[in-house]
């Protein structure tokens, strides 16, 4: 009798009861989105420290703090989704080398350690100067951050730069692993036609570079305006060109994956077609592809290839970056949520509407997305975000002395940071 009822329901276009729940909701959308911003922001810094793209110097150290702020919050969506965060310790207490999901904890901690070390060696001279200029509790605080180091000789500073170069070089493959493995997890689920593709890790990784670079651009422009600084146009132009390049390759791979599936017309394509022209039509074709891919690509190409006025550049540059950020978020949504809208019955589709006040609802997701901003604000109260705010001069290693104006600015900053 139950079999007859199930067959009748399937014939009528209904779905089975176990298809009515989307298990991976907004939190699992946020997780690869935040880790992608971390990996992409680190790539911006490495372009300067490893590949010596000098025009990116104004955002080289800021992008590291930006990446650290998001890295601190990267695991929060997973812990919220888990329901019982204490279970996260199980993957460390009972490691499983064959589990890609369990490997996240080790990748996360290793990458966090490398990022903190690189920030330490970049900011070590600043920490020492601020310790020497401060008194009382501030002096003790900066002394702890400097780990008791006070050597600012030319040899020590040269060693710091060599260490930073090595760490930045090691961080590039680690950033690729940190985010590429997320795409590997989805691409390895062979039963899901939307996820099962070897291009999934590559698309996730390239889109991470897009979101990271776009995030740094938006934050750099906004914070520069808030602090009364003028954004470096050469730096922004270079960042926009890298953003355009990564965006072009990412969008091309996304379209090639869909069109190759359509051309081959495999058994999976019928399911994908009903999904892409069904519940995902608006979020995928209208918003992700048309509005937030074609339009920002055109804007980025225009800004990269044409000479435009300063006013037009100030408006269009952050607009294109914001649209790129939204495109990557929609890509994560369409992959994570869209892959679960395929009914196991083969008839109809599952629909997902996130609530506002649910445990994985819109309100909590917005709070988690804003938390890195608060962390970045805290980091900016401790360390200078920009390279000319109390930094050791470039000529210090050659002369063996520090720039006196840098020392004075450090003294002023150390009194303001904790005011």
Buried-state track 70-80, b at ≥16 Cβ within 10 A, e below 16: bbbbbbbbbeb
Which positions ≥6 away from 106 have C-beta within 8 Å?
none
Q: Any idea what DSSP says for residue 387?
A: T
CA-wise closest residue to 354 among 26, 114, 115: 26
List strand residue ranges (DSSP E) for 77-211, in order: none
How far apart are alpha carbons 202 and 380 in whole angstroms? 33
- Name the token pair of 63: 């992008």
Q: Would you give the distance in Å from CA 7 to the centre of its chain?
A: 46
Q: Are 384 and 413 in contact (CB under 8 A)?
A: yes
Q: Helix or strand or coil: residue 349?
A: strand
**What is the rounded CA–CA span in Å between residue 148 and residue 58?**
28
**Sign (positive or negative) of CA dihedral 133, 136, 141, 146:** positive
Partners of 349 in the β-ladder = 342
Report H helices in 190-294: 200-226, 233-264, 267-276
DSSP state of 291: I
Q: What is the pLDDT along the chain (419 residues), one digit of tens a residue?
A: 443 434 444 445 554 554 567 788 899 999 999 999 998 999 999 999 999 999 999 999 999 999 999 999 988 998 888 888 878 788 778 878 777 777 777 888 889 999 999 999 999 999 999 988 888 888 899 988 888 888 888 998 999 999 999 999 998 888 888 777 788 888 777 777 788 788 888 899 999 999 999 999 999 999 998 888 888 999 999 999 999 999 999 999 999 988 888 888 877 788 788 888 888 899 999 999 999 999 999 999 999 998 888 889 989 999 999 999 999 999 999 998 888 887 766 566 677 778 888 888 889 999 999 999 999 999 999 998 887 654 443 433 333 334 434 444 444 444 444 33
Please write down the long-range contacts of 106-114, taking CB distance under 8 Å and 24 or more positions apart: 107/174, 107/177, 107/178, 107/181, 108/71, 108/74, 108/75, 108/178, 110/174, 111/38, 111/71, 111/171, 111/174, 111/175, 111/178, 112/71, 114/167, 114/170, 114/171, 114/174
Integer Cα distance of 146 and 167 in angstroms: 18
**Closest by Cα among 37, 38, 72, 42 to 60:** 42
Residue 411: what are its φ and ψ, rounded to 5°? Answer: -60, -45
CA angle 190, 271, 260 (to 5 degrees): 75
Question: Which positions ≥6 away from 312 have C-beta within 8 Å?
Answer: none
* Burial (0-12, 13-18, 19+ Cβ within 10 Å), 248: middle
């Amino acid at each position: 009798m139950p079999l007859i009822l199930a067959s009748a329901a399937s014939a009528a276009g209904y779905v089975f009861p176990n298809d009515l729940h989307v298990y991976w909701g907004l939190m699992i959308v946020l997780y690869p989105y935040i880790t992608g911003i971390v990996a992409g922001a680190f790539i911006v810094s490495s372009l300067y420290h490893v590949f010596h793209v000098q025009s990116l110097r104004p955002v080289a150290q800021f992008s590291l703090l930006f990446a650290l702020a998001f890295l601190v919050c990267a695991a929060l969506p997973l812990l919220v989704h888990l329901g019982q965060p204490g279970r996260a310790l199980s993957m460390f207490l009972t490691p499983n080398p064959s589990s890609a999901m369990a490997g996240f904890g080790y990748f996360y901690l290793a990458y966090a350690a490398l990022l903190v070390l690189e920030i330490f060696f970049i900011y070590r001279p600043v920490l020492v100067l601020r310790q020497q200029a401060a008194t009382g509790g501030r002096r003790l605080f900066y002394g702890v951050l400097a780990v008791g180091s006070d050597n600012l000789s030319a040899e020590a500073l040269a060693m710091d730069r060599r260490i930073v170069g090595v760490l930045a070089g090691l961080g590039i493959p680690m950033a690729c692993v940190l985010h590429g493995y997320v795409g590997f997890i989805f691409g390895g689920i062979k039963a899901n036609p939307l996820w099962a593709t070897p291009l999934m890790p590559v698309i996730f990784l390239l889109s991470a570079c897009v979101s990271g670079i776009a995030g740094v651009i938006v934050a750099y422009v906004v914070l520069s305006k808030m602090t009364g600084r003028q954004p470096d146009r050469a730096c922004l132009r270079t960042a926009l060109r890298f953003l355009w390049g990564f965006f072009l390759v990412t969008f091309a791979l996304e379209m090639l994956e869909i069109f190759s599936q359509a051309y081959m017309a495999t058994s999976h394509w019928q399911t994908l077609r009903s999904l892409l022209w069904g519940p995902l039509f608006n979020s995928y074709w209208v918003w992700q592809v048309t509005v937030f891919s074609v339009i920002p690509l055109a804007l980025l190409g225009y800004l990269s290839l044409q000479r435009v006025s300063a006013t037009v550049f100030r408006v269009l540059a952050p607009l294109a970056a914001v649209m790129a950020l939204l495109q990557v978020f929609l890509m994560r949504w369409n992959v994570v949520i869209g892959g679960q809208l395929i009914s196991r019955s083969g008839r109809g589709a599952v629909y997902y509407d996130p609530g506002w006040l649910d445990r994985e609802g819109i309100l909590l997701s917005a709070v988690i997305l804003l938390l890195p901003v608060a962390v970045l604000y805290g980091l900016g109260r401790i360390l200078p975000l920009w390279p000319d705010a109390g930094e050791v001069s470039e000529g210090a290693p050659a002369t063996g002395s520090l720039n006196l104006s840098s020392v004075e600015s450090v003294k002023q900053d150390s009194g303001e940071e904790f005011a």
